[in-house]
Amino acid sequence: LWAAKKDRSASFLAGIMLWIHPSMAAACWLSLGFGFLARRKEVGRERAARVAKWFGAGVAIAVAGIALHRFFITPAYQSPDPALSRELMDNYIKNWDTHRVVNPMAVPWMLETELYMVLIFLSLGFWARKRGDLSGSALAPLFWPVALAGAASLAASALWGDYLPHLFSILMVHRWLNLDSVLLPAAVLGILAHHGIGRKNPLALAMLALNVLLLATSSIDSFTLASHLAAVDWHGEGVKEVFKGLAFPVLGVGSAVLAPHLEDFFKKREWNIQKPWVGGVVGPAVLAAVSLPVAINAFAAYSAERLSGKDSLTPLMEHISKGEGLVLVASSGTPRIPLRTGRGVLIDPEQTDLVSYVPSAGPELERIYNKVYGRSMLVKRAPGEPLALNQRLLPQRWPFYSPDEWQKLREEFGVTDVLMPWGEELNLPLSFAAPPYFALFHIPPKEGSQGR
């Protein structure tokens, strides 16, 4: 939006980003701040004042919204055991947090996108200086601050993760590198479009068409090799996955790096595109080729049944919605029960990262895991064990609970139904069967007590 001179919209959205994701807001502010600083002469005082005014408006609304939720909407809750809260939070961050526990051996692969961006900027800088243009790339000031801060955070988390301050862990500065994953395809396609359409470079135009075609047909389904190597089955289609992972780095990044430097070579041989209609046709064609398949693929995932608001679990959800009390779930990956039924769940095993954001809730979560699941969140991760605490917290004793034990859990925690994976059995009456996905069991109240 800023590049399109939509200063008010861009500045306001940048300010209100604080309300959406504070850490990513800091990344955007740092990146754009350096961008404006590098181009301050072009920006001018009038535009800078307009940007500051609307940015300030966005920040003001964000701060007001956060304060409103914090002081008037969020329920006040004090931890019954602050020491246990801290212990649970520290154990989760050091052992199980999928965003904060960094394997040092994986760091080079996690910086793959940054390597490609560095190659692109070095190439652009060399190409510009050959032509006497010392102004530099407009993208570079946006990239370097976030990339350097993210890479430094990644290295620190990998080498000294156990010793980092809690605030540093919460901010997860290394996740700023996610922005580079968005910047990479935009930079590659933008460079190829500029040189292919604007500067009439035939190689750039051909590679632009090829990359857009591959993206539109999903032949390229990621921008890095690492994302494919992680799932390679070397006894199956390993070689195919490697080629798919190399497609964009070679065809996209490679052509964006090389094509500008071959411009003089093509001009000497008059291999440039002279047709005046190229810019007017190719640009919209590229936009359509990228956007339409994405839209088509997105809508194709929704069958007529799903568009009507129903799927294979609708009968189960409708049955659950007729009940009362909380639903107890055995594992992660369960459907969105509160959203689809209006009933709450006692806990969602997939949301154990809650302890790193709301430590005061940790002791109650631990109490539930102790008394209901027969587990503890204080378990340590063994060397090489996957970062999957939710799998370590799956209940093992539930099939052996007696009806009386289930009724005690109902009285203490308010749970009335238990959702289990299909094929599991409990000492409770089956309330609803949804093969091959789930089975719902009902905890009846004790005789003489109220409730269904």
Query: Low-confidence residues of the chain, pLDDT below 70?
Result: 133-138, 218-221, 230-238, 271-283, 286-287, 289-309, 448-452
Distances (CA, A) of 409 to 51, 344, 372, 373, 406: 57, 16, 7, 11, 5
Q: Give residue 409's pLDDT.
A: 95
Q: Give residue 219's pLDDT.
A: 67
Q: Give residue 272's pLDDT.
A: 64
How far is C-alpha 51 from the chain's CA centre?
28
pLDDT digits (tens, 9 = 90+) for 285-298: 766 766 666 666 65
Q: Give residue 42's pLDDT.
A: 81
Predicted TM-score of the model (pTM): 0.78
Mean pLDDT of the chain: 85
Q: Give residue 210's pLDDT.
A: 87
Q: Give residue 412's pLDDT.
A: 95
- Dig out the tokens for 265 from the structure: 């070579």
pLDDT digits (tens, 9 = 90+) for 54-78: 999 999 999 999 999 988 888 777 8
Q: Give residue 218's pLDDT.
A: 66
Exposed (0-12), middle (13-18) or buried (19+): which is 437, by Cβ within 10 Å?
Answer: middle
